[in-house]
Structure 1
Amino acid sequence: MAAEQSYHYIQRMVKLRDGLPRPGAEIRFVERGGGGPGVVFTHGAGMDHTMFEAQADAVERAGYRTVLWDMRGHGESELHPGAHFSAADALADLTAVLDELGLERPVLVGHSLGGNLSQAFVREHAERVGGLIVVDSTWNAGPLSRIERLGLRMAAPMLGLIPAAKLPGIMARASAVSPGAVAQTESVFARMPKHTFLDVWRATVSLVSPDPAYRTPVPLGLIRGAQDGTGNIAKAMPLWARAEGVQEHVIPDAGHIVTLDAPEATTRALLHVLEQWRFDDPREQRSIG
């Protein structure tokens, strides 16, 4: 029922109202809320900002300055003809959005590819980030087995064998578990051409860069759907939590698209992490789950 309510709620969402011209793309975003700490939501591969609308509303009501945006080639952000999606361009776009809004040390919240992208941004620009919340995403710096490395290399070629008409439905059923979330996910996936989706998938893989010695230099929160069976997330995220000494928030009855499968539980976990950081001094406590 919650997922069905989330689906219909998302359909009524106000469009992103602000545009930012970028090389090869036009990025769309919206900033809401007052003068509280900034929270920037970055969606997953093939999805768009609507997957975070319920959480962004709750975070805004809690007094935060919220930003929703669509990565190039996703949702309302245009990818110009002949342009391709790359991780480097997406990182540069995120930087440009933060610069445009003048955000100082916001919390980055990223799902799947958005989580990989946010991790990479922190790795390059830790001084610009006040905290990192990763939702159903693998650990960029985490260890990979030989089989996992092979799986990463073969993912895009295998997806390329699936007919374009069937790909959105297959991906949606692999990503969500509730009927409403599956329907919404399939609808969003279907808007992206297959060749762009494969570029996006390659970009996601390129952000995985194992480094056993690396630890997240900003406060870290981790959220995962209990039924997430995509990639190695169910294995990697608990390992990451133990390595960093933070709590992993596991949401029952939810798959990879946890924000749509279990919007209320996901929102509670997100607010729990944010409120701990808001009232704790990050200079004394590096990472809080």
Structure 2
Amino acid sequence: MQTLTTQTISTPGTEMRVWRTPALDRKCVVFLHGAGVDHRMFDNQVAELAGAYSLVLPDLRGQGLSILEEGHRATLDTVIDDVKVMLDSLGIDRASIVGHSFGGNIAQEFTHRHADRVDKLVMIGSPGQHREMSGAAASAIKIGTHLYRRIPWGPFAFYSGRWSSRNPATRRYVADCMLAAGRQTWLDLGTSGFASLCPVDTAPRKETLLMRGEVDMPRQLDRIYDALSDQLPDLIRRVVITGVGHQCTQDNPEEVNRALVEFLAD
């Protein structure tokens, strides 16, 4: 795999660890991981894309090696601010952004707020920030959040791994990352995201690839992706990755990489 260099970028509340390919003189692609994991979930995409693009992969605040400073939290807004500081610090004017799960929420909302900094948007297994939510769904989330505050974190991390993948190595990776990130960061990200949802008609008008694993929340994600496709029919592409669940970047990298190469190259 392409060797990555790493550096630390200071933002209010964390020293953010960032990995990147040595050259930043090509078109840039930024990868944003999901809540509770870290940049390593994109190792297979780095191996595929590093020869053609400059790649940037942060550990988002409170996750991986980007440890939160005392008194600070990880929220949708603070992470979006971190991404902007990172781009400014690296001298990157524009990039395509690939976000997985909650990383896709961050990517979509960052694109909405800073459209001039984004070329293309990729959301993988992500419901995003620009969608409609029924009263029943909102109530279910409130109940779920109440339960998540009380379920022992170790068993929940183990369950998260099993839910995300059928692959034993991927399951261990997800569980280990979740244990390290901890309950508070995971909850803060999720609750701040749900509190900041926007109507689907405000979704950023960018070329967007919507991707999901074949068994990754098909009813929920297809409903959300249908609404985005109806809103932006000339800008949306969709792909379903065969035979895998939430962690499709790790469990079927060949199909994920093929879809990314085709979309980013156009």
- The answer to whether TM tops 0.5 is yes
Q: What residue number does 2:205 align with?
A: 217
Question: Counterpart of 1:241?
Answer: 229
Give the match for residue 26 of structure 2: 36
Q: Deviations over 1:166-199 (max 9, x none)?
A: 1111111122222222122112212122222222
> Structure 1 stretch 65-74 or stretch 260-269: which is displaced more?
260-269
Q: Give 3-state SS (helix, strand or coil) of 1:267's partner.
A: helix
Q: Are the aligned partners of 1:16 and 1:76 in contact in 2 as well (CA < 8 Å)?
A: no
Residue deviations 1:102-129 (CA, integer Å, cap 9, x gap): 1122101111111101111111110111
CA contact 2:44–2:253 (8 Å) conserved in 1: yes
CA contact (8 A) 2:213 2:240 kept: yes
Please name the residue that 1:260 is paired with. Answer: 250
Instruction: For residue 85 of structure 1, report the CA deviation from its aligned partner.
Output: 1.4
1:171-250 equivalence runs, <5 A:
171-209=160-198, 211-229=199-217, 232-245=220-233, 246-250=236-240
2:108 maps to a residue whose letter is: Q
Greater CA drift, 177-186 or 216-225: 177-186
Alpha-carbon distance, 1:67 to partner: 0.3
Alignment TM-score, normalising by the size of structure 2: 0.91
- What amino acid does structure 2 have at the position aligned with 1:77? S
Secondary structure of 2:162's aligned partner: helix
From the superposition, tell whether residues 81 and 14 of structure 1 become closer, same or farther in structure 2 (CA, over 3 Å).
Answer: farther
Which deviates the most, 132-141 or 14-23? 14-23
Cα gap change, 1:195 to 1:215, in 2 (>3 Å): closer
Contact 1:33 1:64 in 2 (8 A): no
Render the CA deviation track for 1:73-94: whole Å, top value 9, x for unaligned.
Answer: 1101111123221211111100
Residue in 1 that maps onto 2:135: 146
Residue aligned with 1:110, SS: strand
Q: Does 1:50 align with 2:44?
A: no
Q: Is the 8 A contact 1:254 1:262 kept in 2?
A: yes
Aligned counterpart, 1:282: none
CA distance in 2 between partners of 1:225 and 1:26 (Å): 33
Alignment partner of 2:49 out of 59, 62, 67:
59
Residue 260 of structure 2, aligned match among 267, 270, 276: 270
* 1:46-105 per-position Cα deviation (integer Å, ceiling 9, x unaligned): 0100001111221112x1111010111110111112322121111110000000111122
User: Could you tell me which amino acid in structure 1 is paired with residue 139 of structure 2?
Assistant: L
Q: Please, which moves more after superposition, 16-25 or 227-236?
A: 227-236
Are residue 76 (structure 1) and residue 65 (structure 2) matched? yes
For residue 24 of structure 1, report the CA deviation from its aligned partner. 1.4
Q: Percent identity?
A: 27
Q: Call closer, same or farther: CA 1:173–1:230 in 2, change over 3 Å.
A: farther
Aligned-partner residue type, residue 56 of structure 1: V
The structure-2 alpha-carbon separation of the partners of 1:28 and 1:224, relative to structure 1 and needing over 3 Å to count, comes to same
Size of the aligned set, in residue pairs, is 263
- Structure 2 counterpart of 1:217, which letter? R
In angstroms, what is the RMSD of aligned CA positions? 2.1
Structure 1 CA distance for aligned equivalents of residues 252 and 67 of structure 2: 29
Which ranges in structure 2 are unaligned for 5 or more consecutive residues?
none
Q: Which stretches in structure 1 are left out of the alignment for 5+ residues?
A: 1-8, 277-289
Q: Which amino acid aligns with 1:238?
A: D
Q: Displaced runs of 4+ in structure 1, greater than 3 A?
A: 13-16
Equivalents in 1 of 2:70, 2:57: separation in Å? 24
| Cα 1:78/1:16, change in 2 over 3 Å | farther
In 2, Cα distance between equivalents of 1:80 and 1:270 = 35
What is the CA-CA distance between 1:14 and the residue it aligns to? 6.6
Change (3 A) 1:200 1:168: same
Question: 2:157 is matched with which residue: 168, 192, 196?
Answer: 168
AA in 2 matched with 1:154: I
